[in-house]
């Protein structure tokens, strides 16, 4: 079924990361809008030390996104959705799932369907960060990717411009295992350093009456090191407990976290066939 599709990226990403997926969706007859969320992609705001490559200062400089709230970002998306003649399908990846969940709670009438692609679905436990405290969140990831104290700088910070091969290896292994080295480096160059803490600390407020009224689909990724499939399953179960009338349609791929780039045709097929309101 063809429809308009809005793509919401995850932490540190931007609209450009969805180029392959947008192309696959367009080939299936969809009109596609990949968003740059406020503070991300072409709308990024950078710590001064990131641009000057003062890595020591980068560990302590307060993020220019520290005051960017989840509601600010969600309201910005809602304003975009109001411009559509008919409600689009909203597909979200990773931390973009927290944004999409809040958007659908604020304005369910503007969303024809929700597709979570290896994405957060924060419901019963409140904010996305609460799910990261669960045993199912344990992964093989190293701790060397993140710079500074997130509470002090107001963001979870990475350094995509690092030239340290070991740091690049860890970033590749954590988030882009679906891609070879050349493709990884191309997408890594598009990353921004800061993910606002509000995405992790703010409850989405999801209710069965509003968010739960929207048909929804989840793409599970069994080889995911950033958002382990066991944690994905906890969030699916919580969401279905909250809103059983619109329980998730599910699909599974043996893929890592960057499935949107590593398997764009499979993800496009899922979105194409996803349930939506009439």
SS (H, E, C) the chain: CCCEEEEECCCCCCHHHHHHHHHHHHHCCCEEEECCCCECHHHECCCHHHHHCCHHHHCCCCCCCCCCCHHHHHHHHHHHHCCCCCCCEEEEEECHHHHHHHHHHHCHHHCCEEEEEEECCCCCCCCHHHHHCCHHHCCCCCCCCCECCHHHHCEEECCCCCCCHHHHHHHHHHHCCCCCHHHHHHHHCCCCCEEECHHHHCCCCCCCCCHHHCCEEEEEECCCCCCCHHHHHHHHHHHHHHCHHHCCEEEEECCCCCHHHHCHHHHHHHHHHCCCCC
Q: What's residue 244's pLDDT?
A: 97
Whether 278 maps to a domain, the answer reads no
**Share above pLDDT 70 across residues of the chain, in percent, rounded to a whole number:** 98
Whether 63 maps to a domain, the answer reads yes
* Token representation of residue 124: 């019963």
Whether 37 maps to a domain, the answer reads yes
CATH number, domain with residue 76: 3.40.50.1820
Whether 60 maps to a domain, the answer reads yes
Is 0.85 topped by the overall pTM? yes
Q: How many domains are there within the chain?
A: 1
Q: Which residues pair with 251 in a beta bridge?
A: 219
Q: pLDDT at residue 140 above 60? A: no
Report d(CA 8, CA 127) in Å as an integer: 18
Whether 235 maps to a domain, the answer reads yes
Q: What is the mean pLDDT of residues 38-65?
A: 96
Q: pLDDT at residue 141 above 90? A: no
Q: What's residue 278's pLDDT?
A: 74
Report d(CA 249, CA 215) in Å as an integer: 9
* Token representation of residue 54: 């003062």
Q: What's residue 252's pLDDT?
A: 98
Residue span of the structural domain in which 230 resides: 4-273
Report d(CA 167, CA 258) in Å as an integer: 18
Q: What is the mean pLDDT of residues 82-92?
A: 97
Q: What is the mean pLDDT of residues 254-264?
A: 97
pLDDT tens readout for residues 4-14: 999 999 999 99
**Share above pLDDT 90 across residues of the chain, in percent, rounded to a whole number:** 96
Q: pLDDT band for 138, please (50, 70, 90 cuts).
A: confident
Report d(CA 197, CA 154) in Å as an integer: 6
Q: What's residue 118's pLDDT?
A: 98
Q: What's residue 124's pLDDT?
A: 98
Work out the mean pLDDT of the chain and round it to a whole number.
96
DSSP-derived pairing of the beta strands 89-94 and 113-119: parallel
Q: What's residue 101's pLDDT?
A: 98
Q: 187 with 21: CB under 8 angstroms?
A: no
* Token representation of residue 146: 């993140």
Whether 134 maps to a domain, the answer reads yes
pLDDT tens readout for residues 97-132: 999 999 999 999 999 999 999 999 999 999 999 999
């Amino acid at each position: 079924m063809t429809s308009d599709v809005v793509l919401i990226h995850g932490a540190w990403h931007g609209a450009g990361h969805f180029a392959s997926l947008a192309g696959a969706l367009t080939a299936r007859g969809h009109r596609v809008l990949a968003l740059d969320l406020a503070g991300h992609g072409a709308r990024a705001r950078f710590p001064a030390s990131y641009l000057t490559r003062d890595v020591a200062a980068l560990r302590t400089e307060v993020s220019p996104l520290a005051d960017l709230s989840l509601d600010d970002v969600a309201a910005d998306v809602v304003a975009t959705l109001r411009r559509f003649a008919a409600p689009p399908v909203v597909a979200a990846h990773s931390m973009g799932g927290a944004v999409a969940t809040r958007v659908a709670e604020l304005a369910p009438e503007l969303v024809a369907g929700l597709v979570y692609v290896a994405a957060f679905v924060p419901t019963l436990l409140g904010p996305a960060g609460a799910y990261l405290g669960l045993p199912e969140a344990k992964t093989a990831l190293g701790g060397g990717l993140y710079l500074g104290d997130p509470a002090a700088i107001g963001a979870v910070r990475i350094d995509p411009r690092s030239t340290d091969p070991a740091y690049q290896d860890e970033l590749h292994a954590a988030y882009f295992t679906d891609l070879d080295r050349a493709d990884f480096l191309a997408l890594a160059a598009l990353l921004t350093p800061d993910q606002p803490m509000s995405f992790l600390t703010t409850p989405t407020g999801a209710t069965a009456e509003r968010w739960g009224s929207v048909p929804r689909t989840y793409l599970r990724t069994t080889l995911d090191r950033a958002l382990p499939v066991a944690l994905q399953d906890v969030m699916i179960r919580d969401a279905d407990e909250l809103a059983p009338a619109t329980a998730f349609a599910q699909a599974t791929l043996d893929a890592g976290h960057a499935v949107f780039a590593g398997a764009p045709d499979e993800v496009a097929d899922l979105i194409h066939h996803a349930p939506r309101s009439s």
